[in-house]
């Protein structure tokens, strides 16, 4: 049974928190995903076995949290993430961000650099509202976005995504690849070469753009966007272990 956190914006955020040693590992899920996904649940069990604190939660409009997906945008989900770590965690944390959660983890890292002990992203999708959605819209879709307020995009995994004008415009206020992105902690980017949602080029662009003394990109040949088979889950565990060990020196 999930617990619920009420944010300053009045949203009800569903979460599962495992108590344990610091730093807390925080999982940030993808667009239209939820905290019951394979990676989130696996990491929770793995952290629990080590006695380490762990947090997973649903953004508003996702999973068990309040609101609808169509109402939300990157900035709203960033507010949810800030509320979760500020209300539910004391001290430092390690972020594990998957897909859109990778973008969210970069925003959170930029907002609270002093609390970030380490960062792991899995198929991170920074700035996708601009570089994937908007860049891929034809004139007719752009006109529909202006007149109707949203467009529908097919998904490989579920029903079509409803992409709103607000999501596109808000995304522009939260871009991370257009301004300096500097990390004072260990960072590990994980990316599958058979990912059809986030390209290897995106992963390399993020690596090239970001600055940090301890930053690595691991490309996994044959892995897809889910990055959740036994081998990939083991690589996520290794990356979390690595950043914690490196941060503690």
**Beta-bridge mates of residue 17:** 55
* CA atoms of 6 and 86, how far apart (whole Å): 12
Q: Active site includes 99?
A: yes
DSSP state letters, 152-191: EE--SSSSPEEEEHHHHHHHHTT-SSSS--EESS-EEEEE
* CA atoms of 207 and 204, how far apart (whole Å): 5
Scanning the structure block, which residue is given the tokens 């490196």?
Answer: 246
Catalytic residue, chosen from 98, 99, 105, 228, is: 99
At 18, list the tokens. Answer: 């495992």
Catalytic residue, chosen from 33, 98, 225, 228, is: 225
Catalytic residue, chosen from 58, 170, 195, 228, is: 195
- DSSP for residue 157: S
Q: What is the gyration radius of the CA atoms in the chain, in angstroms?
A: 17
* CA atoms of 81 and 42, how far apart (whole Å): 20
Active site positions, annotated: 99, 195, 225
């Amino acid at each position: 049974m999930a617990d619920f956190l009420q944010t300053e914006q009045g949203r009800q955020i569903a979460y599962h928190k495992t108590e344990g040693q610091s730093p807390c590992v925080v999982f940030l899920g993808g667009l239209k995903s939820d905290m019951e996904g394979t990676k989130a649940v696996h990491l929770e069990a793995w952290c629990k076995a080590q006695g380490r604190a762990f947090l997973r939660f649903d953004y508003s409009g996702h999973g068990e949290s309040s609101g609808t997906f169509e109402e939300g945008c990157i900035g709203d989900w960033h507010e949810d993430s800030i509320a979760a770590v500020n209300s539910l965690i004391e001290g430092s944390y390690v972020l594990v961000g998957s897909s859109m959660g990778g973008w969210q983890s970069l925003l959170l890292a930029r907002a609270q650099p002093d609390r970030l002990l380490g960062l792991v992203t899995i198929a991170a999708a920074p700035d996708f509202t601009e570089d994937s959605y908007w860049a891929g819209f034809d004139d007719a879709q752009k006109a529909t976005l202006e007149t109707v307020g949203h467009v529908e995009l097919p998904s490989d995994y579920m029903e079509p995504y409803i992409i709103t004008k607000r999501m596109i415009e808000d995304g522009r206020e939260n871009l991370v690849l257009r301004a300096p992105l500097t990390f004072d902690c260990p960072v590990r980017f994980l990316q599958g070469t058979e990912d059809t949602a986030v390209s290897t080029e995106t992963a390399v662009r993020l690596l090239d753009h970001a600055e940090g003394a301890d930053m690595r990109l691991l490309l996994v040949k044959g892995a897809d966007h889910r990055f959740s088979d036994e081998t990939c889950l083991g690589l996520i565990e290794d990356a979390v272990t690595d950043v914690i060990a490196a941060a503690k020196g």
